[in-house]
Chain A
Amino acid sequence: MKNIKTNTSLQSTLLKTPTGIKGLDELTWGGFPFGRPTLVCGDPGCGKTLLSTEFLVRGATEYNEPGVFVAFEEKSSELAMNVASLGFNLEKLQSENLLRIDHIHIERSEIEETGEYDLEGLFIRLDHAIKTINAKRVVLDTIENLFSGLSNQTILRSEIRRLFQWLKEKKVTAVITGERGNGMLTRQGLEEYVSDCVILLENRVVNNITTRFLRVVKYRGSVHGTNEYPFLIDDEGISVLPVTSLLLDNEVSTERVSSGIPSLDEMLDKKGFYRGSSILVSGTAGTGKTSIAAYFADNSCKRGERCVYLAFEESPHQIIRNMKSIGVNMEAHVKKGLLMFHASRPTLFGLEMHLVAIHKIVKKFKPKTVVLDPITNLITIGSVSEVKSMLIRLIDFLQAEQITVLFTALTLNNTVHEQTDEGVSSLVDAWLLVRDIESNGERNRGMYIMKSRGMKHSNQVREFVIRDTGLDLVDVYLGPSGVLTGSAREEAQLREQTGLVLRDFAVSRKDREIERKRAILEAKIAALKEEFEIIQDELNKTYVEDDLKKEMMHKSRVHLTKRRNKDTSTEKNIKNTPNGS
């Protein structure tokens, strides 16, 4: 048996019997008081019988403590059938001698009372049952039925008092259930006799949604959680939800995970988010929050990490179909078992039930990433503070498991919703805001990082573009007229391009002109050269003619001289004369 010292500063060492019920042992710091009766009371249908049955079943299966169930209401077969839906096999436990169900049936019409009597018969039966299986736990469900079967209240009360005393002497941990009475915890005032530990179960309907609550009304000699804790009953029994950890001592990781959008990672110090961090994507309707979430989930699956997609708005099929249109094939991941959708209407059950459902899915599926889309829908079933407290617990739980979580939140220009944003935003590590930028008769999406703890991140507003091929972040156009997005951005870009082309064109035209001018000049130069050559030629011609004339004249003179005197010496003299002249 697990003995837990409850409070070391006090000298009390109250022995406790762990119930094995999820959360209840944390809340009572170890379980019910050992060897003493505990009263579980509440309205009809709030789970008293289930709680007590689970107490016995867990005792038998997990702590090897056999138990006796004394049923005043249901027959053993009925009880077995009722709890079979929780996965408890009472018949098997009975055959293994770990459980004994004793059905005590009192039929008023069969019974006549004359004179003095006592309930020794009940004691003997109980004693016999305890002895046969060496029971450590006893459940009496519900002993108040005796009051309807027997009329002598005086005897009954004294006998019940004796019974509880007797149970204490037997050193069995007993759970006694009782229906809630008017202004009292139980109809017959059982709390008078059982005063060590009282657990109150309640069923409350708020906004048409039922939530079950558990409260430890009193626990003598032990510390215990005093709040009302929601609990739920599902196919695995009861889960009570205390705040998982009040201390901020979760381990942190420096590992990064990609957001699935490269350009977004670029904004986040080029690496993406921290593993185990919480990310909030908020924005007005139709800004692509779900698309971002889907990309994130898709990327997680592509890395081979499991992902749970909790959809509160759309059905899985809807999401799969819609995401196909932007090039994300989620169906393949689902088939591979990497992606799990869990869609539920927020109004299906209370917040706490959602929380527990998420807990269980996470525990079972063991994902690395979780997507909640959108958390704002939860507001429909709870107040802002309730949703916040639920999310705190959720984030806490996921961080302890090193799971990266991405929430989407819808912002409206409505104070309540803005509050949620702010409320949650202080809890998250990274906050992306997708905004509508409306101008020039069209609506565009702008995205920026509001915060991202522990990393450098871009402070720029980017235009968030959704195309057939996927999501992308585009730098907005920062022109002289301010920030432009959408077609205005494209127009500006086009204009810029046109300008470039025009300039290029102008430049090339000038170039050509110069070229042409040069050609013209060169042509002119050539022409002038020609002209000059012509003139030169002319000149040369006259010279040559002159020379030729002179030569001819000289030749003819020589000829003449020869003819006149055949004297050679004279001939020589004459020959030299033209040169000399």
Chain B
Amino acid sequence: MEAETQKWELRLYVAGKTVKSVAALNNLKKYCEEHLKDKYTIEVIDLLEQPQLAEGDQILAIPTLVRKVPEPIRKIIGDLSNEEKVLVGLNVRPVNKTA
């Protein structure tokens, strides 16, 4: 299966420790642990500290989750409260869980 070798490189853009940011990070961690155990890396970028990084990934909304790998790049904005949408966006098969 392709999922065997695939890695997920995720980047979460936040701006300070806002409620939404914290919620998004927590949600993301939860999903990854469940569906992508040991196959993912999460990089959290605080734009308040590194504002120049916002341009590279065309960040507009906060929080934004960017899936760098696997290609193509996908962005998920919001507090990631809808698990299904996040998984679809990350191209993760929730089947793994049920199987």
Interface residues of chain A, those whose CB is within 8 Å of chain B, are: 102, 104-107, 110-122, 124-125, 127-128, 146, 149-150
Contact = CB atoms under 8 A, between A and B. Distances in A.
B77 A117 contact: yes
Given A114-B78, A117-B61, 17 more contacts: A104-B60, A110-B72, A110-B75, A111-B76, A111-B77, A114-B77, A114-B85, A114-B86, A115-B23, A115-B24, A115-B82, A116-B79, A116-B81, A119-B60, A120-B61, A124-B48, A124-B62
A59 B29 CA distance: 48
A121 B77 CA distance: 11
A471 B58 CA distance: 73
B20 A121 contact: no
B81 to A, nearest CB: 4
Given A112-B85, A116-B20, A117-B20, A125 B59 contact: yes
A105, A121, A122, A127: residue with the most chain B Cβ atoms closer than 10 Å: A121
A113 B60 contact: no
A110, A111, A117, A125: residue with the most chain B Cβ atoms closer than 10 Å: A117
A524 to B, nearest CB: 135
Shortest beta-carbon contacts, A-B, top 7? A128-B51, A115-B81, A115-B78, A112-B89, A115-B79, A120-B62, A114-B82
A115 B18 CA distance: 14
A122 to B, nearest CB: 5
A121 B54 contact: yes
Given A114-B85, A119-B60, A119-B62, A128 B78 contact: no
Contact of A112 (B54, B77, B79): B77
A188 to B, nearest CB: 16
A114 B75 contact: no
Contacts of A127: 51
- The interface residues of chain A, by DSSP majority, are classed as mixed
B76, B77, B79: residue with the most chain A Cβ atoms closer than 10 Å: B77
Interface in B1-53: 13, 15, 18, 20, 23-24, 47-48, 51-52
A149 B54 CA distance: 17
A102, A104, A110, A149: residue with the most chain B Cβ atoms closer than 10 Å: A110
A121 B59 contact: yes
A124 B15 contact: yes
30 contacts: A104-B60, A105-B58, A107-B58, A110-B73, A110-B75, A111-B76, A112-B74, A112-B76, A112-B86, A114-B76, A114-B81, A115-B20, A115-B23, A115-B80, A115-B81, A115-B82, A117-B62, A117-B64, A117-B79, A118-B20, A119-B60, A120-B47, A120-B61, A122-B60, A122-B61, A124-B48, A124-B62, A127-B51, A146-B60, A150-B77
Contact of B58 (A104, A114, A115, A120): A104
A125 B51 CA distance: 6
A176 to B, nearest CB: 16
Nearest to B19: A116
Contacts of B52: 128
A477 to B, nearest CB: 87
A104, A115, A122, A149: residue with the most chain B Cβ atoms closer than 10 Å: A115
A114 B15 contact: no
B57 to A, nearest CB: 9
A544 B51 CA distance: 165
Contact of A118 (B23, B47, B62, B82): B62
A121 B15 contact: yes
Given A114-B86, A115-B80, A121 B62 contact: yes
A121 B55 CA distance: 9
Contacts of B82: 114-115
Contacts of A114: 76-82, 85-86, 89
A120 B15 contact: yes
A117 B63 contact: yes
A120 B85 CA distance: 22
A251 B48 CA distance: 61
A106 B79 contact: no
Nearest to A150: B61
Nearest to A128: B51
Nearest to B47: A124
A105 B73 CA distance: 14
A107 B75 CA distance: 9
Contacts of B74: 110-112
A167 to B, nearest CB: 16
A253 to B, nearest CB: 60
B17 to A, nearest CB: 12
A112 B86 CA distance: 8
A117 B15 contact: no
Contacts of A122: 60-61
A170 to B, nearest CB: 14
B30 to A, nearest CB: 13
A112 to B, nearest CB: 4
Contacts of A146: 60
Contacts of B23: 115
B75 A111 contact: yes
A128 B56 CA distance: 13
